[in-house]
Structure 1
Amino acid sequence: MIRSFRDKITEAVFDGENPKGFPSDLLKMARRKLRYLNAAAGLGDLRSPPGNRLEALTGDRQGQHSTRITDQFRVCFIWTADGPADVEIVDHHRKGAAMTKKLKPMHPGEVLREKFLIPLAMSAGALAKVCGLPRTRIERIASEQTGVTADTALRLAKALDTTPELWLNLQTDYDVQVAKRSLGKTLDRIETVNKPRAA
């Protein structure tokens, strides 16, 4: 889970907002990279997707890692024992941003489709066969019609060389975002009853 962001623009993209001046054609891809990073249980999860191009950085970024969004943009971060920290989207031409509209929550099927099936040139049916699942289960996940269960997470992890926690974290993140938007201001009206007592 991401521990901290280095700037407001990166945090806004992670939250599904569309920062003014951020290239709209990169928005979904950048958010997908950030959400995937958030769900990763270890650096191994970041090595697995074809095209993720995980790199250990050198020079003035010694101690950081990055995954490329495009040749111009990358996500840089420090991997700690608690997960990624100081996460930022790096581009030499960007300026400050004001927030506008929000993107819809990112379904784990988008990650499955865009980071694995397409780069591997693999059909949902072929992956389902490898996983020992009905073709329709992987098709429905990839088309964002159904969620990832613990059973499916274990199978995907084995087939795609990730951790099952990655898939469950992506699913939980999606479910929480959907619920938060659905509840809206109702959540603000709920009183916290378990408050710390004064010493």
Structure 2
Amino acid sequence: MAIKNTIGREIPPTHPGEIIREDFMQDYNLTAKTLSEALGVSRQTINELIREKRSLSPVMALRLSRLFKNSPQFWLNAQNARDLWESEQQYQEELKKIRPLNAA
């Protein structure tokens, strides 16, 4: 049995780039350059991620989890929440037209 979530979220979930920028980079005293070097990716990739212009990929989730000793699921959950919210906002009118089915 599914639990209905009828309360719409007004503001978007936190983008993983914001989490990296505001929490991890400050706590570990990292710059975009030092973070990119530690992860083995380009500075452009990190800049786009922390400026919220890029989504977090599964490979990046693995890299970040290794670096910060947390789970890749932490990062993927943050990205998934953001993606679902943005999709719901973008397709809100289309989604309202779909009528749920009832089992026989």
1:10-159 equivalent positions in 2, closer than 5 A? 15=9, 102-159=10-67
Q: Structure 1: how far apart are the matches of 2:62 and 2:13?
A: 23
Moved over 4 A (4+): none
Q: TM-score, normalised by structure 2?
A: 0.83
| Larger fraction in strand | 1
Partner of 1:182: 90
Matched, 1:196 2:70: no
Q: Structure 2: how far apart are the matches of 1:121 and 1:110?
A: 15
Contact 1:131/1:155 (CA < 8 Å) preserved in 2? yes
Structure having the higher Rg: 1
Q: Structure 1: how far apart are the matches of 2:47 and 2:69?
A: 20
Shift of 1:105: 4.2
* AA at the equivalent of 2:45: R
Q: Please tell me the root mean square deviation across aligned C-alpha atoms, in Å.
A: 1.8
* AA at the equivalent of 2:48: R
* AA at the equivalent of 2:57: T
Q: Structure 1: how far apart are the matches of 2:44 and 2:71?
A: 22
Q: Structure 2: how far apart are the matches of 1:108 and 1:175?
A: 11
Contact 1:105/1:178 (CA < 8 Å) preserved in 2? no
Shift of 1:191: 2.3
SS at match of 1:118: helix
Shift of 1:124: 1.7
Partner of 1:166: 74
SS at match of 1:121: coil
Shift of 1:106: 2.4
* AA at the equivalent of 1:131: L
Shift of 1:125: 1.5
